[in-house]
Amino acid sequence: MSAGICYCFSRLTLVNHLFGMRGLSNYCLSCCVNSLLQTFSVTWEIAELLERWDVAGAKGDAHNVALHLKRVLEAMRGDLPQPAPHRDFLHCLDQNNFRLNVQHDADEVFLSILNFIHQQMDNKVLAGEIQDLYKISVETNLQCLKCNSIQTETSYMLSLPLYVKEDDNSLEGCMNSFFEHQELRGINSCFCAHCGTKNPSRQGVKLLSLPRILCMNLKRFRNSRGSTRKLDCRVSFPETFDFSQSLQHVFSGNFAQNECRYTLYAVVVHCGYAMFGHYTAYVRHRENKCWYYADDSHVQQTTWEEVQRTYGGRQSFSVRSTLEMPR
């Protein structure tokens, strides 16, 4: 199990309508999904693309995650005082093997929802645009320490997995650790095509391109001797982050983007321990720029200072964050 700071960093853009702030009832241990839905509800790019989708020809209604996500996000934009109806979406996830009455990991559910959208939408162009919102393209270099030959491959991920240390951490420090070169020896040695054998290697990762919405998963669970524990350590994070100022050294030589500044707009929080706990979310309203705290059906306005206190310390919080890059 992992949890993280769903650091939804994004590029800020004005929108033409006001997003409602409706809660979601906790139905069959749905706090994890409820918190993710709150982050999707303030991701206007997702709502805009789903609104353009003509669902008349959509198949597999009961199993179609994209179709039910479109419906529940439409309901959440209303200004009614009662919680938005979302049981159909939960049952749809259940039909796709994310069972009700089971505690799930937020990052796993988030990535699965994106994959279900990509697989189940009949409009593949829109499905691709939704996935592209989160796509982080990377270049991995693997150097054989015996012959010094280098193998390079490109790939992408939809969320940046960042491991925290058993000490005070910063988001920038976690990202620096992710991009540090690692030596792979022993059972981790890699096959070298030039030598024809497995040899010790040095692996490095560089950024090829950044997405419009950058999700980071702060991984603070560790497996040891057959048991899982959660690290209770602090991680500080900013409300804005600029890769070109802080992490320019992680760019590949082929990196060509000019805009690398992100603004935090959603944080998913896990409170509790490794095997049980509760998920809530902090989201930033795009119109009034205020922060809101969503705990299932309860939604209230909060402050940036409260958001900063969510990760680490005696309360045993874990955070997943999402950031958006301004256009």
pLDDT digit string, tens, across residues 3-13: 444 455 555 44
Residue 23 confidence (pLDDT) above 50:
yes
- CA–CA distance, 274 with 256 (Å, rounded to integer): 40
Write out the E strands in 19-118: none
Instruction: Evaluate the CA torsion angle 147, 149, 155, 156 in order and state its sign.
Output: positive
Could you report the per-residue pLDDT of 179-221, keeping only the tens digit for each?
A: 999 999 999 999 999 999 999 999 999 999 999 999 999 887 6
pLDDT at position 129: 97
- Asked if 110 and 159 touch (Cβ cutoff 8 Å), the reply is yes
The pTM of the whole model exceeds 0.85: yes
Nearest to 2 by CA among 127, 125, 141, 107: 107
Q: How confident is the model at residue 78 (pLDDT cuts 50, 70, 90)?
A: confident
| Cβ 117 vs Cβ 69: under 8 Å | yes
* CA separation for the pair 52, 60 (Å, rounded): 19
Summarize the confidence of residues 244-268 as an average pLDDT: 91
pLDDT of residue 4: 44
- pLDDT at position 277: 85
Q: Is 86 helix (H, G, I), strand (E, B) or coil?
A: coil
Confidence of residue 312 (pLDDT cuts 50, 70, 90): low
Q: 182: part of which helix (H) or strand (E)?
A: strand 182-184
Spatial separation of the C-alpha atoms in residues 48 and 50, rounded to whole Å = 6
Cα distance between residue 94 and residue 89, in whole Å: 9
The pLDDT-based confidence of 225 (bands split at 50, 70, 90) is confident
Secondary structure class of 19 (helix, strand, coil): coil
